[in-house]
Amino acid sequence: SQTIHQWPATLVQPVGSPLSLECTVEGTSNPNLYWYRQAAGRGLQLLFYSVGIGQISSEVPQNLSASRPQDRQFILSSKKLLLSDSGFYLCAWSVGQLNQPQHFGDGTRLSIL
Amino acid sequence: QKEVEQNSGPLSVPEGAIASLNCTYSDRGSQSFFWYRQYSGKSPELIMFIYSNGDKEDGRFTAQLNKASQYVSLLIRDSQPSDSATYLCAAFSGSRLTFGEGTQLTVNP
């Protein structure tokens, strides 16, 4: 069966510091991969998605970037964090067409000080 | 107008009752619809998806879709305290999934 790993679970970073969050999927090949952010008490906002290695689609212009160096690895990065980058970051995967169900990792709760 | 709208609640029902959660969407081109359950501090968990008009049942859960009226609903029969969570509705259109802000459900013992 498929599993998704996301780390770290919590992260506290100072303003202006860099960020790297990693997500890996096991048990499937060529998954679609997604990064979402959820602000406190709000719905999920799609940040990036990828349908294959090196293919990244950005949904919201912002202080973040994403990369997919391997088939089942998705990385979210920032060179300089802003206070507004605080939130709950979720990685998700799906297979097949993009309208298929997405399954989420456990998330990273990021606090910027 | 929000693309996917849900009543934020909180919705409170007694144990054993039917909980009814509703969602409307603005994009008539939306193709598929999903319900996720999210416990406080946890990530969303997929509980139902529906692509065609009508009802889809899975255990105690029934998803209902009416594309003409652009609404999706989730019924939870025999509600249990463990069903207390925030329920997120999502609609797929174009190339992305758009989420509502969720309805908080509390099931009282």
> In sequence order, what are the beta bridge partners of B105?
B11, B85
Which residue does chain B place closest to A99, by CA atoms?
B92
What is the pLDDT at residue B73? 97
Residue A28's SS3 state is coil
- Nearest-CB residue to B99 (from A44, A103, A105): A44
Any B CB within 8 A of A57 CB: yes
Contact check, Cβ <8 Å, B95/A44: no
What is the pLDDT at residue A62? 78
* Mean pLDDT in consecutive groups of 10 residues from the start of chain A, 113 residues: 92 97 95 94 90 91 90 96 95 94 97 95
Contact check, Cβ <8 Å, A102/B31: no
What is the pLDDT at residue B7? 86
For residue B45, the chain A residues in CB contact (below 8 A) are 104
CA–CA gap between residue A96 and residue A76 (Å, rounded) = 22
CA–CA gap between residue A32 and residue B37 (Å, rounded) = 21
Q: Which residues have CB under 8 Å from A97's CB, separation 6+? A: none
What is the pLDDT at residue A40? 81
CA–CA gap between residue B103 and residue A113 (Å, rounded) = 30
Q: Is the dihedral of CA B57, A43, A46, B40 positive or negative?
A: negative
Any B CB within 8 A of A59 CB: yes
CA–CA gap between residue B15 and residue B1 (Å, rounded) = 34
Residue B22, Cβ neighbours under 10 Å: how many?
Answer: 17
What is the pLDDT at residue B1? 63
Decide: residue A46, CB within 10 A, 0-12 exposed, 13-18 middle, 19+ buried: buried
- Nearest-CB residue to B101 (from A43, A49, A90): A43
Low pLDDT (below 70) residues in chain B: 1
What is the pLDDT at residue B80? 98
Interface of B with A (CB under 8 A): 4, 31-32, 34, 36, 42-46, 49, 51, 88, 90, 92, 95-102
